[in-house]
Structure 1
Amino acid sequence: MRFQTPLVPATLIRRYKRFLADVRLEDGREVVAHCPNPGGMIGLQDPGMRIWLEPNDDPRKKLKYGWRLVEHEGGHWTGIDTGVPNRVVKEALLARAIPALSAYSGVRPEAKYGAASRVDFLLTEPGLPDCYVEVKNVHLRRRGDLAEFPDSVTARGRKHLGELAEMVAQGHRAVMLYLVQRTDCARFALAADMDPAYAAAFIEARAAGVEALCHGTRISPEGVWLAGELPMEAVKGTEK
């Protein structure tokens, strides 16, 4: 997935009200940028961080910059836009680039399912059970090369796990796909201390037959692309 507009570097001054960030452009101007991330953003919102913004000239948008990336030492990147994973995964599904899901040719985003919900992707293929796929953005890193989810309490995430389990009960296939928008992580685990209820719901969903996948990403100021599958550390009770 390529960014629509070339990104520009900036320095983070502060993030506030969840969706706003004061930033300093390289020419010294201070502007307000949209922060497309409602989460805790632990370790990604420190003043002085080098970040990258996507400019826009859309007259309908009050803010003319959108925050997209954090640049780290050692040439690593984090994508903070929670809307990006679905775009990355859609491209990968259409290209059949996700091995565990490559048998499906039909890719339908935002299909209705569950209790007045919409699943991120409904995959179809003659002769195969329909496959319901939910995508979660991952950018929490607290130690070593371990990526974790979630970074805050997520009642919506728990609801999705229950709805995926219901799809399995109806004879369909269901997959929770975690996309790690960091280039400095090589494995994945649930942050059970952040949301014990989510971890418990994950255990229940896995026991009900919901599959779990995790993929990394390749990130640069040009765009974000799917990378290889990352190993997932088991939550106690999910081992098969």
Structure 2
Amino acid sequence: MKRGTMAVVSIGPGDAGNLTPRAREALEAAEVIAGYGAYLQQIDALLGGKLIIESGMHGELERCRKALEQYRGGRRTCLVSGGDAGVYGLAGLVLELMSPEEQAALRVLPGVTSATACAALLGAPLTHDFAVISLSDLLTSEHLIEKRLKMAAEGDFVTVLYNPQSIKRRRLFSRAAEIFLAHRSPSTPVGLVREAYRDGQRVMLGTLEELASQNWVDMKTTVLIGNSETFSSGGRMITPRGYGG
């Protein structure tokens, strides 16, 4: 049987307003859309008349396999991924499950990732070199996460923390604050964004010495830690690029 088409579609953070035109076009043309339930809710207006494959947290492998079954059965299939599918998303997993011929035909459509979306809400914190580190230890060891935190802190990178803490996992968040305090001033600006571009959005600008005490930070929060030159002004977080101003 002739294969259909397969696209991994990045849908950005928050509501459908952050969808790119190319992503919207692919979703409108699809016969099958697969995704995590919360992500499908973001694009609810585009789901009419489609076969929907929905699964919950930790159902990534099953979701990808079911989407590939539809594609191999000849249907136009989209697998949606929050933020950008290539940044802690499903693009890599789908490619791992494909044959070389299928890999060559796959379309991966980019999107707005949490780091840049939250940076825009805070001002301009990422206008120089930066690192992105997830504090989730489900797929990465604590030892390796701490090593990466130390290297980012020592290298004076602006650092974005994804998945900073959960109900069961709090140690790494406080440990991250300790590591950065060992290398940066306590007054270093830190931005926190929760539920970006969703109802209940919260944006806070504080300092590094206050970071560990922010008990409301959870898996829906993104943390941006400034470098040695980052400053705050007018309620904005700004990292100079060095243009000479």
Give the number of the structure whose residues are more often strand, by fraction.
1
- Bigger radius of gyration among the two: 2
Query: What TM-score do the two structures reach when normalised by structure 2?
Result: 0.35
